[in-house]
Structure 1
Amino acid sequence: MKRKAIAASAAVLLLPLSACGGSARAGDDNTVTITVGYQSKTINTVTAGTLLRSLGYFEQQLDALHDGHTYKVDWQDYATGAPITADMTAGKIDIGSMGDFPLLLNAARGKQLGQPTRLVSVTGYNLRGGLNTVVTAADSKLTSLADLKGKKVSTSIGSAADGTLVRALQRAGIDPDKGISKLNQQPAMGASALSAGSVDALSQFVAWPGLLAYQGKAKALYDGAQLNLPTFHGVVAREAFAKQRPAVLEAFLKAQAEATDYLNARPVTAAEKVAEATGLPAEVVYLYNGAHGIATFDPAVKPALVSALKQDVSVLKAAKLTGDVDVDSFVDDRYVRTALGTADYAKRLDAAPPASASEVWPKGGGKTTSFGSPKELLAYMARHDGDIRAAYVPDATTRTLWFADKAVWVADGGQLLPFVTRATAQAYVDAHGGAQVVSYADALRRAS
């Protein structure tokens, strides 16, 4: 029988799907179904989800196994990591992807239910924590994290965005339990609540903060990179599945590496593919996943990320969401090492994130242009008014990429410096005599 790797169709890609049936199950015709849980709109998991699915690399790798089985991939889309964990521990999902805090809850839940899981690779990461952002309404008068005291804040408890909020509030001297009124909401619900004015701020993971800013519905209040603590998304697999079908798991990880290489080599095309599949604006996808985006993609399980994961345990314990988690036992990079080979894995493990840069995406163009400084980018934009699809600049202190027209600009002598938030811009002004916050229009005028 000629083997085929078949991608199961989803009724509607953008809606979460409920798991059905068992996973890695063999049918009467010797067909084996592999169930993959992913989050289409959590775009730092695209190399293990949305982009990987659209490229068909996993199916191709399965077809190359030549082990006598016909493989079918059942892709199931979710809004967050929690339902993926629920279905994994019920034996309904074999491979899943989610953020660092949900990964820890996955590990704890799997151990509790006697269905252990293992972290097998990484998707997107930011070594400073820039993947999470606290935003307020575009017309909000709140200007710093300290202004949140006594306010209503929406987040998803147990998520990396909630972890950022908790740590940021603690650093600001605000009790995260008593100093604010925290609402536990799904990202979409929180975004709606912010737009409706029923909450004062929203702390969320990608791509929600960037999307709301791009739409003119929000502005950044706190850049997660100010914590200077790594945050990442990763791939988790059921231990029983990994032991039963190691070649299949390795095929997935090979495919993930291929998707990663595709994204890094063709960032604009990859952003457009993800945008088409998710309904997100390509300009927002590129903010995070572009050539100089907030996220860096690599499947290697870097020690810095494992160390950060260990630090995250205390935050979840304090929130009484979990007890101790044995991170060292949870992390298992044997499969990805085998899949990629010793030399390639070592190279990826040592690779540094690409340097941040200012970048313009012209209208009608399939390529972007990078600039040596934000001022050079502004000068180019002033000369090409109306011909720019999107423009991105790195924060002068955290290096977090942000939309040029949404950034807070500071003029300091001959320099024009962008910041994600007004608070960090003001901190710079306070420390540099003569520096001043200027409008975006004024920054363009000064650059030209």
Structure 2
Amino acid sequence: MKRTAVALSAAALLLPLSACGGSAEAGSGSTVTVTVGYQSKTINTVTAGTLLRSLGYFEQQLNSLHDGHTYKVDWQDYATGAPITAQMTAGKIDIGSMGDFPLLLNAARGKQLGRPTHLVSVTGYNLRGGLNTVVTTPGSQLASLKDLKGRKISTSIGSAADGTLVRALQRAGIDPDKDISKLNQQPAVGASALSSGSVDALSQFVAWPGLLVFQSRAKALYDGAQLNLPTFHGVTAREDFTHRHPVVLEAFLKAQAEATDYLNAHPVTAAEKVARATGLPAEVVYLYNGAHGIATFDPAVRPQLVSALKQDVSVLKAAKLTGDIDVDSFVDDQYVKKALGASYAKRLTAPPAPAAGEVWAKGSDKTVSFKSARELLTYVARHQAGIRAAYAPDAITGTLWFADKALWVADGKQLLPFVTPATAQAYLTAHGGARTVSYREALERAS
């Protein structure tokens, strides 16, 4: 797709939509409606959306203000970040959550229309980029990104997944503007296009790749963590809203921190809650949001993430989706610092949970963790009838994946999982004598 068409498509996504909402001007004793835009199925935003809503923490925080106002929360669910931005710049959404690339478009659009917005907190992140994945059909002969030359690829223009695709293709020596045919599609449309064979690959953000692989409708071709560049989702708020209602934003961020702590303390229960609210399989939610999931949740605005955001600007500029963006002025962590208090500094430096395999037994609200893939396989082999899901981290990137959907390599006594053919092949090339084995053979070897 030519750059002009791409720019027009992205602009169309950002056109204001008609909807009710927005915050009411608050006089003493008035009712203030706070409109929150979220993406229920973009499940590493759940601490500012789906999970937060189901727990009721924001409403509880607002009720505790006792400032003479009555507060009402209007939750609005969207498939992507673009319509949230459109509603924010129309003054109809006060607080929204979206991915890193949409956040930049949010910043640019807000400034352009005289309704500036600010990044005020982070929801889920992955420091290597593992939240985005390129998948193909289960029977596809495509084995690497280089095989995509001349092919049709579905993605959502201006999304984090599109950013991953562009960067990955460039690293593979493929011009994303000339060497492929890129279709700008909503995630659900792209998933259908992949299944019907009208596209050769799909590049999307969480939870679509994991969902399609779990349903045996796709297999992973490229793990975003191969880029080794941070990707994240965050919370953006309208400047005029935060100036009028700073205590409301602080209440939201306190509630988000509570939801984050709940998710980290009760990952299985949280996954079940999100699954019920979204219709997604709980096993897929847990892949991303679990104790050792692909996403790490914390509201702190880490310097690594701000640095990554600055690097993302050049990708959007090259695609003519935006001009220069002053990231430093867009980031405003004063409210989350106040909301989190003394814990903020500690959160900034807390390391993500180490990669580890996990097994989720049927009927259990807890998982069992394993230090090695072989230990995980041994456990699965002995308890196959009672296993709900088993997860194993890629031996190179650390990206968690479904054990039965991973590619397995035997190297002496070691049994190693990989998300994609590329990472498996990289290991095989570096380790003479290693060979690929089926999941069944891996289980037999472990038992």
Report TM bin, short chain: over 0.9
Inter-partner Cα distance in structure 1 for 2:18 and 2:247? 27
Inter-partner Cα distance in structure 2 for 1:271 and 1:356? 19
What percent of counterpart residues are identical? 83
1:315-367 per-residue CA deviation (whole Å, 9 max, x = no partner) reads 000000000000000000000001111x2111111111010101000011111
Q: Indicate yes or no: 2:362 matched with 1:363.
A: yes
Inter-partner Cα distance in structure 1 for 2:26 and 2:318? 42
SS at match of 1:269: helix
Q: Indicate yes or no: 2:425 matched with 1:429.
A: no
Q: Which residue in the other structure is 1:347 paired with?
A: 346
Q: Which residue in the other structure is 2:337 paired with?
A: 337
Q: Indicate yes or no: 2:304 matched with 1:304.
A: yes
Instruction: Give the letter aligned to residue 292 of structure 2.
Output: H
* Aligned partners of 2:408 and 2:436 also within 8 Å: yes
Inter-partner Cα distance in structure 1 for 2:53 and 2:294? 22
Q: Identify the range of structure 1 (281-290 vs 437-446) with the bigger mean alpha-carbon deviation.
A: 437-446
Superposition deviation, residue 427 in structure 1: 1.5
SS at match of 1:52: helix
* Aligned partners of 1:24 and 1:35 also within 8 Å: no
Q: Indicate yes or no: 2:414 matched with 1:415.
A: yes
Q: RMSD over aligned Cα, in angstroms? A: 1.1
Instruction: Give the letter aligned to residue 190 of structure 1.
Output: G
Q: Which residue in the other structure is 2:123 paired with?
A: 123
SS at match of 1:91: coil
1:83-104 per-residue CA deviation (whole Å, 9 max, x = no partner) reads 0000000100000000000000
Q: Indicate yes or no: 2:279 matched with 1:293.
A: no
Inter-partner Cα distance in structure 1 for 2:387 and 2:94? 43
Inter-partner Cα distance in structure 2 for 1:27 and 1:191? 48
Inter-partner Cα distance in structure 2 for 1:354 and 1:130? 14
Inter-partner Cα distance in structure 1 for 2:74 and 2:247? 18
Instruction: Give the letter aligned to residue 284 of structure 2.
Output: V
Q: Which residue in the other structure is 2:395 paired with?
A: 396
Superposition deviation, residue 199 in structure 1: 0.3
Superposition deviation, residue 22 in structure 1: 3.5
SS at match of 1:41: coil
5+ residue gaps, structure 2, are 1-16
Inter-partner Cα distance in structure 2 for 1:438 and 1:383? 19
Q: Which residue in the other structure is 1:4 paired with?
A: none
Q: Which residue in the other structure is 1:202 paired with?
A: 202
TM-score of the aligned structures, taking structure 2 as reference length: 0.95
Inter-partner Cα distance in structure 1 for 2:56 and 2:30? 21
* Aligned partners of 2:120 and 2:237 also within 8 Å: yes
1:190-235 per-residue CA deviation (whole Å, 9 max, x = no partner) reads 0000000100000000000000000000000000000000000000
Q: Which residue in the other structure is 2:71 paired with?
A: 71
Q: Which residue in the other structure is 2:243 paired with?
A: 243
Superposition deviation, residue 26 in structure 1: 4.7
Superposition deviation, residue 372 in structure 1: 1.4
TM-score of the aligned structures, taking structure 1 as reference length: 0.95
Q: Which residue in the other structure is 2:110 paired with?
A: 110
1:230-267 per-residue CA deviation (whole Å, 9 max, x = no partner) reads 00000000000011110000000000000000000000
Inter-partner Cα distance in structure 2 for 1:445 and 1:24? 63
* Aligned partners of 1:400 and 1:420 also within 8 Å: yes
Would you identify which runs of 4 or more consecutive aligned residues in structure 1 move more than 2 Å?
A: 21-29
* Match runs of 1:268-279 below 5 Å: 268-279=268-279
* Aligned partners of 2:21 and 2:35 also within 8 Å: no
1:423-442 per-residue CA deviation (whole Å, 9 max, x = no partner) reads 21012111110000111111
* Aligned partners of 1:135 and 1:222 also within 8 Å: yes
Instruction: Give the letter aligned to residue 281 of structure 1.
Output: P
Q: Which residue in the other structure is 2:441 paired with?
A: 442
Inter-partner Cα distance in structure 1 for 2:384 and 2:83? 46
1:43-93 per-residue CA deviation (whole Å, 9 max, x = no partner) reads 000000000000000000000111000000000000000000000001000
Inter-partner Cα distance in structure 2 for 1:147 and 1:387? 39
Inter-partner Cα distance in structure 1 for 2:27 and 2:75? 18
* Aligned partners of 1:24 and 1:94 also within 8 Å: no
Inter-partner Cα distance in structure 2 for 1:445 and 1:264? 34
Q: Which residue in the other structure is 1:10 paired with?
A: none
Q: Which residue in the other structure is 2:98 paired with?
A: 98
SS at match of 2:128: coil
Q: Which residue in the other structure is 2:20 paired with?
A: 20
Superposition deviation, residue 116 in structure 1: 0.2
5+ residue gaps, structure 1, are 1-16
Inter-partner Cα distance in structure 1 for 2:291 and 2:184? 33
* Aligned pairs, number: 431
* Aligned partners of 2:292 and 2:353 also within 8 Å: yes
Inter-partner Cα distance in structure 2 for 1:54 and 1:195? 32
Instruction: Give the letter aligned to residue 332 of structure 1.
Output: D
Q: Which residue in the other structure is 2:253 paired with?
A: 253
Inter-partner Cα distance in structure 2 for 1:44 and 1:186? 18
Q: Which residue in the other structure is 1:153 paired with?
A: 153
Inter-partner Cα distance in structure 1 for 2:267 and 2:433? 39
Q: Which residue in the other structure is 2:182 paired with?
A: 182
Instruction: Give the letter aligned to residue 371 of structure 1.
Output: F
SS at match of 1:386: helix
* Aligned partners of 1:24 and 1:241 also within 8 Å: no
